[in-house]
A and B are shown apart, each in its own frame.
Chain A
Amino acid sequence: MIELSAIHRDYSVGDQAVRALDGVDLSIASGEYLSVMGPSGSGKSTLLNIVALLDRPTAGRYRIDGRDVTELSERELARLRRENFGFVFQFFHLIPRLTAAENVEMPLVLAGIAPVERVARVAEALASVGLADRAGHRPDQLSGGQRQRAAIARATILRPGVLLADEPTGNLDSASGREIVQLLESLNAGGTTLIVITHDAALGERARRQIRLADGMIVSDSDDRLPLLEKGGTGSGSGETFGADNAPGCLLRGEGEQGSCGTPVDAPR
Chain B
Amino acid sequence: MRPADILRHALRAIFAQPLRAGLILLAMSIGAAAVIVLTSLGESARQYVTGEFAALGANLVIVLPGRSETTGGHPPLFGETPRDLTLDDAEALLRARHIVRVAPLILGGSPVSWGGLEREVTVIGATAALREVRRLELSQGQFLPPADFEQAMPVCVLGEKLRQELFGNRAALGEWVSIGDRRFRVVGVMAAKGHSVGIDFDDTVVVPVASAQVLFDTPGLFRMLIEARSRATVADAVNEARQILRARHEGEDDVTLITQDSVVGAFDKVLRALTLTVGGIAAISMLVAGILVMNVMLVSVTQRTPEIGLLKALGADGPLLRTLFLVEAALLSLGGGGLGLLLGWLGIGVLQGMYPDFPFAAPLWAPVTAVLISLASGLGFGVLPASRAARLDPVLALSRR
B-binding residues in A (CB < 8 A): 45, 49, 52, 54-55, 74-75, 77-79, 81-83, 87, 89, 91, 93, 95-98, 106-107, 109-112, 114-115, 154, 258, 268-269
Give residues of chain B (307-344) contacting chain A, Cβ–Cβ below 8 Å.
307, 309-320
Q: Is there an interface contact between B398 and A74, defined as CB atoms closer than 8 Å?
A: no
Q: Is there an interface contact between B16 and A97, defined as CB atoms closer than 8 Å?
A: yes
Q: Is there an interface contact between A78 and B395, defined as CB atoms closer than 8 Å?
A: no
Q: Is there an interface contact between B401 and A78, defined as CB atoms closer than 8 Å?
A: no
B399 within 8 A of A: yes
CA A258 to CA B394, docked complex, whole Å: 14
Across-interface contacts of A154 in B (CB, < 8 A): 314
CA A208 to CA B394, docked complex, whole Å: 30
B314: which of A45, A75, A91, A110 is its contact (CB, 8 Å)?
A: A110
Known contacts A54-B394, A98-B12; A78/B315 CB under 8 A = yes
CA A191 to CA B320, docked complex, whole Å: 32
Known contacts A97-B13, A98-B12, A110-B320; A269/B401 CB under 8 A = yes
* B390: nearest chain-A partner, CB-CB: A74
Across-interface contacts of A114 in B (CB, < 8 A): 2
Q: 10 closest pairs, A vs B, by CB? A: A82-B315, A78-B317, A97-B16, A54-B394, A93-B310, A75-B317, A109-B5, A107-B314, A49-B395, A258-B399
Q: Is there an interface contact between A95 and B315, defined as CB atoms closer than 8 Å?
A: no
Q: Is there an interface contact between A109 and B13, defined as CB atoms closer than 8 Å?
A: no
CA A93 to CA B309, docked complex, whole Å: 9
B306 within 8 A of A: yes
Q: Is there an interface contact between A110 and B316, defined as CB atoms closer than 8 Å?
A: yes
B1 within 8 A of A: yes
Distance from B14 Cβ to chain A, minimum over Cβ atoms (Å):
10
A81: which of B309, B313, B318 is its contact (CB, 8 Å)?
A: B313
The binding surface of chain B is classed by DSSP as: helix
Across-interface contacts of B16 in A (CB, < 8 A): 96-97
Distance from A34 Cβ to chain B, minimum over Cβ atoms (Å):
19
Most chain-A CB neighbours within 10 Å: which of B12, B316, B320? B316
Distance from A125 Cβ to chain B, minimum over Cβ atoms (Å):
14
Q: Is there an interface contact between B1 and A75, defined as CB atoms closer than 8 Å?
A: no
Known contacts A82-B314, A98-B12, A110-B314; A93/B398 CB under 8 A = yes
B9 within 8 A of A: yes
A74: which of B310, B311, B317 is its contact (CB, 8 Å)?
A: B317
Q: Is there an interface contact between A87 and B313, defined as CB atoms closer than 8 Å?
A: yes
B400 within 8 A of A: yes
CA A217 to CA B12, docked complex, whole Å: 44
Q: Is there an interface contact between A97 and B315, defined as CB atoms closer than 8 Å?
A: no
Q: Is there an interface contact between B401 and A95, defined as CB atoms closer than 8 Å?
A: no
Known contacts A97-B16, A109-B9, A110-B1; A81/B315 CB under 8 A = yes
A52: which of B4, B12, B310, B313 is its contact (CB, 8 Å)?
A: B313
A sample of 24 cross-chain residue pairs with beta-carbon separation below 8 angstroms, ordered by A number, consists of A54-B312, A54-B313, A74-B317, A75-B319, A78-B312, A78-B315, A78-B320, A79-B317, A81-B312, A82-B315, A87-B313, A93-B306, A95-B307, A96-B16, A97-B12, A97-B13, A107-B315, A109-B2, A110-B314, A110-B316, A112-B1, A112-B5, A269-B400, A269-B401
CA A106 to CA B314, docked complex, whole Å: 8
Most chain-A CB neighbours within 10 Å: which of B1, B306, B320, B398? B398
Across-interface contacts of A269 in B (CB, < 8 A): 399-401
A-binding residues in B (CB < 8 A): 1-2, 4-5, 9, 12-13, 16, 306-307, 309-320, 394-395, 398-401
Distance from B85 Cβ to chain A, minimum over Cβ atoms (Å):
80
Across-interface contacts of B399 in A (CB, < 8 A): 45, 258, 269
* B319: nearest chain-A partner, CB-CB: A75
* A171: nearest chain-B partner, CB-CB: B401
Q: Is there an interface contact between B2 and A112, defined as CB atoms closer than 8 Å?
A: yes
Distance from A249 Cβ to chain B, minimum over Cβ atoms (Å):
21
Across-interface contacts of B4 in A (CB, < 8 A): 115
Q: Is there an interface contact between B401 and A91, defined as CB atoms closer than 8 Å?
A: yes
Distance from B164 Cβ to chain A, minimum over Cβ atoms (Å):
69
Distance from A157 Cβ to chain B, minimum over Cβ atoms (Å):
10
Distance from B73 Cβ to chain A, minimum over Cβ atoms (Å):
68
Distance from B382 Cβ to chain A, minimum over Cβ atoms (Å):
20
Q: Is there an interface contact between B306 and A110, defined as CB atoms closer than 8 Å?
A: no
Known contacts A78-B317, A107-B315, A109-B9; A95/B310 CB under 8 A = yes
Across-interface contacts of A95 in B (CB, < 8 A): 307, 310
* A151: nearest chain-B partner, CB-CB: B310
Known contacts A109-B1, A112-B2; A55/B395 CB under 8 A = yes
* B314: nearest chain-A partner, CB-CB: A107
Distance from A259 Cβ to chain B, minimum over Cβ atoms (Å):
10
Across-interface contacts of B316 in A (CB, < 8 A): 78, 110
CA A16 to CA B320, docked complex, whole Å: 34
CA A110 to CA B309, docked complex, whole Å: 14
CA A79 to CA B320, docked complex, whole Å: 12
CA A111 to CA B401, docked complex, whole Å: 25
Q: Is there an interface contact between A111 and B398, defined as CB atoms closer than 8 Å?
A: no
CA A57 to CA B320, docked complex, whole Å: 24
Q: Is there an interface contact between B395 and A54, defined as CB atoms closer than 8 Å?
A: yes
